[in-house]
Amino acid sequence: MMFHHPPSRIRAILLALLVTFLWSTSWILIKIGLKDVPALTFAGLRYMLAFLILIPFSIQPAHRKAIREMKPSIWGKLVLLGILLYGVAQGAQYIGLDRLPSTSVSLLLNLTSPVVALLGIQLLKENLSRRQWLGVLFNLAGVLVFFGPVQFPASQIWGMVIVVIGMLANSLGAILSRGINRTRQVSPTLVTTICMGIGAVLMLGGGIITEGIPRMTIPVWGIIAWLALVNTALAFTLWNYTQQTLTAMESTIINSTMLIQIAILSWIFLQESLSGMEILGMILAAAGAVLVQLRNHASNNQA
């Protein structure tokens, strides 16, 4: 997969929305797969297979040349990104989905938006306009309205701690990923392959050591293969590509629309009904996402 030019703003937004749709379908498939495969091993198999799929695209002459010329500082950032965004964040998400209801996991992960907004200002100097801050507040309000008063029993404390750690790792990963991709010094394909390989080794190695080697059915292998090829190898590469154009905050807010997409998919495929408050929350969250995207689009038109 070669990306010679950064995407236009509209194309980046549309591609990012496509990626979030693919990731939203992952939640349903993960819940099915976790019935037969332990969480960390499941995540490790998915990302290791995706890494193997990406290798042929990453050893083309142009990419081999880029790898040879890559500075140690860039390698250090890619290793750290692999640990944070894959090894910790994705591993924690799988463990969280195994221990907590999906709604609780989604609520905690949606706290990423304000964390990324604050970190982006400090570390990337990507300031938000008043309209964008309003969008962040709308988005967060929509999440809180959608979930309402979520209760966490004492038995779920450790699951909460794991998901919060994953949320913080994901927030730091979003900042680091934007910092790497906005320089356009490394191809999105290489960023995805290198970071994913590091995270996959950590997850699969940790899973086999702590959970053992599971026996898996053909349907489960089918789920892992689909997740690896489409929802991981393709989706994460496209996501890194969009970050050449979109700021960390804009990417995170688009990512938060998964709340709406997961709810709709659950309604269609799992027959889970939506209350009036949940629909209101989805509208507020969507409005917030639109407000965050409007500022720079207007600025671009004026430039």
pLDDT (tens digit, 9 = 90+) per residue, 209-257? 999 888 889 999 999 999 999 999 999 999 999 999 999 888 988 988 8
d(CA 250, CA 243): 9
pLDDT (tens digit, 9 = 90+) per residue, 100-128? 877 678 778 878 888 888 889 988 988 88
The residue type found at 11 is R
What would the two tokens of residue 216 be? 């898996």
Q: How confident is the model at residue 27 (pLDDT cuts 50, 70, 90)?
A: confident
**CB of 52 within 8 A of CB of 44?**
no
pLDDT of amino acid 7: 93
CA distances from 252 to 10, 61, 111, 165, 170 (A): 16, 33, 10, 17, 10
Question: Residue 155: exposed, middle, or buried by beta-carbon count in 10 A (0-12, 13-18, 19+)?
Answer: exposed
CA distances from 298 to 129, 243, 277, 294, 301 (A): 12, 19, 32, 6, 5
In whole numbers, what is the pLDDT of the chain averaged over residues? Answer: 87
Confidence (pTM): 0.82
d(CA 103, CA 39): 17
